[in-house]
Amino acid sequence: MADNETPRSNDNDYSNEQMNEVLQQMNELFSRYKDESDLDTIHINRLLEVLQAFGRNPSQSDCDKRIHELEDDEKFELTFEDFLQILEESWTLINNDRNILRKAFAKFDLSNEGSIDIEQFRTIMRTLGEPLSDDEIDELVQLGLNDKHKKIDIEYLLDQLLGNEE
């Protein structure tokens, strides 16, 4: 180390403290979903629910596949450490890419006005990909509704779902 350099151990200590705090918060969130037994585990049937609590949004079918893999390995309970490993798996990541969603919605914007007819939107949400329930569709309609034109405003819906783009 040169004479004018300062040791940086404090930076690393702060980083470790910060990481420990994040892990503690994550463990507290995980604990809310623990089984009622004395074990510090969650049952694999709660995997999707817990992933969603952690801000992930995998499809039901992807989650079911992972649960079947766990069942095949005779693993029915997950510890916090098990869950952290699953949390790092790519299938759990939320798809919140604004441009991808914008392009997908734009395919149904027949008038090229940046909006989708409400009934067409309902049909799309019921039939493409993983179908949504009527209640889920109603929530999305309300999020993206442009009262003036009675259509789903694509940019407004994206802002409501993903936050304002700055």
89 is written with which tokens?
A: 């798996």
Region label for 129, one of left (φ > 0), alpha (ψ between -120 and 50) or beta (otherwise): left
* Predicted model pTM: 0.53
On the question of a common fold for 39-96 and 109-165, the answer reads yes
pLDDT (tens, 9 = 90+) of the chain, 166 residues, equals 454 444 444 444 557 888 888 888 888 889 888 877 667 899 999 999 898 888 787 878 889 999 999 999 999 999 999 999 998 888 777 555 677 788 888 998 988 989 999 999 999 888 887 788 898 889 888 888 876 668 999 988 888 877 776 5
Asked whether 152 and 113 are in contact (CB, 8 A), the reply is no
- Domain 39-96 top-level CATH class: mainly alpha
The CATH number fitting domain 109-165, selected from 3.40.640.10, 1.10.238.10, 3.10.20.90, 3.30.565.10: 1.10.238.10
